[in-house]
Amino acid sequence: MDSSLGLRLVTITLAFIHIGHAQDQKGFISLDCGLPANELSPYSETYTRLSFSSDENFIQSGKIGRIQANRESKFGKPYRTLRYFPNGTRNGYNLSVEKGRNHLIRAYFIYANYDGFDINPMFDLYLGPNLWDTIDLQGQVNGTRAEMLHIPISNSLQICLVKTGTTTPFISTLEIQPMGNDSYITDSGSLKLFFRGDILISTTLQVNNSNNYSPPKAALTTAATSTNAYAPLTIKWNSSNVFSQYYLYTHFAEIQELQTNDTREFNLNWNGNHYYDLLVPPKFKVFTVFSESGGSCKGGECSFQLTRTNRSTLPPLVNALEVFTVIHFPQPETNETDVFAVQNIKTTYGISRISWQGDPCVPQQFIWDGLSCSNTDMATPPRITHLNLSSSGLTGNITDGIQNLTLLETLDLSNNNLIGEVPEFLGNMKSLVFINISMNNLSGLIPQALQRKGLELFCQRNPRLCLSGSCLPAKPKPFPVATFASVASVAIIIAVLVLTFVVRKKKPSIVGAQQRPPSISSAVNVTYANSPVSSIQTNKRSLTYSEVINMTNNFQRVVGEGGFGIVYHGYCNEGDHLALIYEFVPNGDLRQHMSGKGGRSIINWGIRLRIAVEAASGLEYLHIGCIPPMVHRDVKTTNILLDEQFKAKLADFGLSRSFPVVDESHVSTMVAGTPGYLDPEYYRTNRLTEKSDVYSFGIVLLEMITNQPVIDQSREKSHITEWAGFEVNSGDIRSIMDPNLQEDYDSDSAWRTFDLAMSCANPSSKRRPSMFQVVVELKECLASEKSSRNMSRGIMDSHRSDEVTVLVDTEMFLVAR
């Protein structure tokens, strides 16, 4: 091979070559990313004649930038502006395309020190839920590009930039061009551009390029030929991946006026094998030779050779060469109908959550906030099964777009400003088993369809909402009761301040509760869906001070001590002697029943999962059901108490904090909590969010799985997250499971619980799930366990009664700490 020729071909691979007719741009999307809306748009780019427009209508995030002024002259107009993404992990474009049609997709990235940092960024580029390319601008003075040919399986296409390190993703231009389906065909997968080359000798004559591949006319007016007229024209390249499959597209046109006796005829060889024989380039008309199937290169060394025949008087030539590698996208996109439905909901309510970009369900680490999805296998598109838009500032009616989520199981629209009637279609969605529309301004009658068996409906605090047959008068309810996932959860969560006992003697004071004089709890009427009774009245009983002294043996019968006070056995309401008193739970705390401490029994895996669901439901209520929302701040196994039926009670609210401002996402506060359970991000920043409780709960789950200390200095990995993560690298969940369980558990539910625990304990709060998502996942883990074994062998039967007795101070959540 002529070495100078090889160098010249390598040099031209960076040329900006455009496929397709610029003059026929029907269906084209050519975006000048970062072009301000007030600038001329669309405009025609000088070289390609492509019509570029601003990208502002195709993306909801990002900021506008412009390359360094002294470098603008090097680049055409579309490449001088850019959009960069300092916020969020995944930011994406949503584009309308023709389903089933081949499309050229191309993006350019020209850094040119737009931010003044002079640090070339690196980030990932995704097509839907799959990685397309890694964009590395290191050493790329003139920028780089990503290009592929791809057939969309739906009418929408998400192209996203994902931050993978410390540098900021950006994009200069994005182009989508529909192609003919009879060109650039693969056996499977899509085609990713490896390189493209053209030029060397040229003509001023017109070259017809009307075939299916339509290379640009500028490329066809040039050709490469060997400097040695009798030597083969050889093009070589190396591949780091020896398994790569390549497709070649070579374009030929005779661009010289030949003499009467001149002949140009040659054979094509690919990696030493016959490829095409006796090729005579047509005069001033393009002829394309392409691979019908992918080919690999031995040892990663690829060679394409053009050899003149014996009767040829002229050397071979090639006008343009395109080499593509096969790229597969194994992760299916979320079901198209579900994507359309949730996008419609997003538009209807003007939801601007930064995570609501790209594919809603996959990949798992980028799932939209408030969603849970079914991900059964890589061959089945995920479906949206849970939608939580609680406290999202929604206004207007309940959109009928929800009914298009045909596999939706739970829907939470609580604590918004929704108006109008409750639509009947909600009751006709057969997959729905839980609906929470409480704390809105809904009105009218609740449709009969919503009272079907198997559907739990929570609709409290809608003053003008009427139950079937009659309207209930609006009653002020200082305590927002019943926003739970099940009636079983009500007993757990309403009695959240378990074992917090305060005696106020002479001078009123509150320790471990609200800083105001409480009163003994009064009866509360609570309505539950599918309950055999329409309301449940809490038990109440008053004791004299002398009786309390007697019951506590003059305050010597100490049950325990919380973060802000001693816990006794008894309660009182007499004169100046006021006490908040909650039910006594005889089975101690969760920690004791994993270790067997004090003669306690060891609870089995199924019971542990059920306790986890109950405790998580309590935290979920604090985060989204309380007004104002609350953060527990001291979630640990010793603060999960068990009653005589081993039902979980979340306890010790001495460190709890509320978020009194509606739009406030965090509060700044002095760090408090228990070492090992304490959120490291909260510890570093003093910024408290509900995700701090999620972290602590992740540690609780790891304890329930492993029965190991949270911190053990005798271990090489002292913290439980580090130890468990290291041990489970062997791929055997048994390496970390509590040996007291004697391998009596469903491995699938154990794995899913472990994965959930590690997700909760992610060092970054943004990567942690919400408690709503935690509850949903734990319920699925419990269902998996129940389906594989008989739960009745445990300490108690898993059957939960719909009858609940509630004892609660009705003012407990009204005052912020």
Q: Over the Cα atoms of the chain, what is R_g?
A: 34
Q: Check 115, 634, 679, 746 and give the catalytic one.
A: 634
With residue 722 as reference, give the H or E element that holds it. helix 720-727
Burial 751-774 (b: 16+ CB within 10 A, else e): ebbbebbbbbbbeebeebbbbbbb
- For the four alpha carbons of 23, 29, 34 and 39, in that order, the dihedral sign comes to positive
Output the CA–CA distances (angstroms, integers) from residue 762 to 123, 375, 631, 698, in the order listed: 21, 21, 18, 9
Task: Find residue 161's DSSP bridge partners.
Answer: 91, 125
Query: Are 500 and 651 within 8 A, CB to CB?
Result: yes
Beta bridge partners of 642: 648
Strand partners, 83: 64, 171
Buried b (16+ CB within 10 A) or exposed e, 223-254: bbbbeeeeebbbbebebeeeebbbbbbbbbbb
3-state secondary structure of 629: coil
The torsion angles phi and psi of 734, rounded to 5 degrees, stand at: -65, -20
| Cis status, amide bond into 709, omega within 30 of 0 | no
The candidate with the shortest Cα–Cα distance to 656, out of 811, 812, 501, 524, is: 812
Q: Which two tokens stand for residue 98?
A: 């023709």
Three-class SS string for 442-467?
EEEECCHHHHCCCCEEECCCCCEEEE
Which strand (E) or helix (H) includes residue 288? strand 287-290
Helix (H), strand (E) at residue 773? helix 771-788
Tokens, residue 189 = 């997968």
Distance CA 253, CA 223 (A): 8
User: Is residue 634 among the annotated active site residues?
Assistant: yes
Catalytic residues: 634
